Amino acid sequence: MSAPLFLLPSPLGEGTLTAMFPLFNFQIINSIDYYIVEELRTARRFLRKMNIDKAIDDLTFLVLNEHSKQVNGKEYLQPCLEGHNMGLLSEAGTPCIADPGHVIVAAAHQLGIEVIPLVGPNSIILSLMASGFNGQNFSFHGYLPTDSVMREKEILFYETLTKKTGQTQIFIETPYRNEHLFHSFLKVCDPVTRLCIACNLTTPEQSIVSQSIAKWKKENPDIHKRPVVFLIN
Amino acid sequence: MSAPLFLLPSPLGEGTLTAMFPLFNFQIINSIDYYIVEELRTARRFLRKMNIDKAIDDLTFLVLNEHSKQVNGKEYLQPCLEGHNMGLLSEAGTPCIADPGHVIVAAAHQLGIEVIPLVGPNSIILSLMASGFNGQNFSFHGYLPTDSVMREKEILFYETLTKKTGQTQIFIETPYRNEHLFHSFLKVCDPVTRLCIACNLTTPEQSIVSQSIAKWKKENPDIHKRPVVFLIN
């Protein structure tokens, strides 16, 4: 009989762990000896912070990230098939949302392994809740093109979609490129379009500002190299 | 100086509260005397379950739901403006996602009130994590039309979009209509399209099955009158 694969959220940044995770997550972590992780160092640091009772050196870590070639889900999930609980850890936030973990989960379903997602911080949902924008209809697009012409074309496309359907559009960016994305919104969007900038979520520096492009044009938000979610509506 | 508006998630169903909410949520609830809620009865029951220290009869509840006419955000948020913490509660899950709360949050931003979203269970994210589908690009559409011809037309539209872009499409349905929606997917989708049915999330009866339409055609899942999220990819 196979054991379950737990999907374990991790912190979005420096903040209080008891504000981010239910007690249950701390308990589950103490039931797991086998982890699939994106980076060893972050994973070990997270487990130490969670005050894990086990010796971290006794745990087995399998690495899955953008450098992993020809991922064989069955190999990764061998411990589950042998009856050991496994944990899939994200670098930040919830696994499988904007990270490569979904390949493992798809394999788990094919192998008949139970998949159990745990509650934790997700920057897309937290920012959507706090934006004041339409939460009945929304789309997450991940990263926009780095080329400014292409990026501005896509922003215009999504802004038009929002005007037609009311759908909220959600984007993220590599933190050192945040200001380029911000200036693209200012350049191409209608002054009445609303832009929400949700920065440093769940940390003591959390800042969530939701206002029209016209108002943003008078401001210079401090978003360089910080984790940000951008939403328009 | 105004006090913050806290966005407080509530349970998705009968389950262990310490598996759903960080400790911080229990602490915040004890700092709040004014709530905006969808239904009084559910809100009171939730606060009792959270073992609130305050007498529930001493709390003030303002009701906001689909029957509320001409919602004046400033009136609802008067306690915040007078320096009292307020809580916005959803009927189930996270406020402002597929519920009317976003109007209040938009008003809070206009009034310069700080908006603080708390971590909690969100059925869209939990089901997406656990589906094994693309989490880099996804869209939530809420409810599909009740008319079967219209519904099937929309399903086909979204399935085509997925084939073109890889985007995961996410839907919910009124629980007593779940089977109609399920049969519409079986009827119109390509046999290789994958459908994930995430049922009773975070409860002891949780069931998450992710497989091709071809495989679903041989099954009859027990989804009648249960809370379900449907995902295709």
Give per-residue pLDDT as tens, A54-103.
999 999 999 998 788 778 889 999 999 999 999 999 888 999 998 889 99
Phi first, then psi, for residue A196 (nearest 5°) are -105, 130
State phi, psi for A58 to the nearest 5 degrees.
-85, -10
A135–B contact, CB cutoff 8 A: yes
Q: Is A97–B125 a contact, with Cβ atoms under 8 angstroms apart?
A: yes
Mean pLDDT by 10 residues, chain A (233 residues): 96 91 95 95 93 92 86 92 96 88 95 97 97 96 95 97 97 96 98 98 96 96 95 98
User: Is B99 an 8 Å CB contact of chain A?
Assistant: yes
Chain A CB contacts of B117 under 8 Å are 126-127, 129-130, 201, 208
Interface test with A, best of B91, B129, B133 (most A CBs within 10 A): B129
B38 touches chain A (CB under 8 A): no
- Options 3.30.950.10, 1.10.1040.10, 3.40.50.10360, 2.40.30.170; CATH for B123-232 is 3.30.950.10
Determine which of B10, B125, B219 to mutate to test the interface with A (most A C-beta atoms within 10 Å): B125
Count the residues in chain A.
233
Selected residue of A109, A129, A138 to mutate for chain B interface (largest B Cβ count, 10 A): A129
H or E stretch covering A44: helix A40-49
Query: Using CA atoms, how far apart are residues B8 and A25, in angstroms rounded to an integer?
Result: 19
Check the CA dihedral A30-A34-A37-A40 and report its sign.
Answer: positive
Res B1 pLDDT > 90: no
Instruction: Give the pLDDT of residue A71.
Output: 80
pLDDT at B214: 98
* Average pLDDT taken over every residue of chain B: 95
Sequence ranges of the domains in chain B:
5-117, 123-232
pLDDT in tens, B179-199: 999 999 999 999 999 999 999
What is the structure's pLDDT at B228?
Answer: 97
Reading phi first (left if > 0) and then psi (alpha if -120 to 50, else beta), residue B115 is in: beta
CB B109 to CB A135 under 8 A?
no
Cα gap B84→B105, rounded to integer Å: 16
CATH level 2 (architecture), domain B5-117: 3-Layer(aba) Sandwich (3.40)
Which pLDDT score is estimated for B91? 87
DSSP run (H or E) holding B80: helix B78-81
Q: Sign of the C-alpha dihedral, residues A61, A66, A70, A72? A: positive
Asked whether the predicted pLDDT for residue B67 surpasses 90, the reply is no
Q: Determine how many CB atoms are found less than 10 A away from the CB of residue B189.
A: 22
Quick: pLDDT tens for B99-147: 889 999 999 999 999 999 999 999 999 999 999 999 999 999 999 999 9
The answer to whether the B5-117 and B123-232 domains have the same CATH topology is no
ipTM rounded to 2 decimals: 0.96
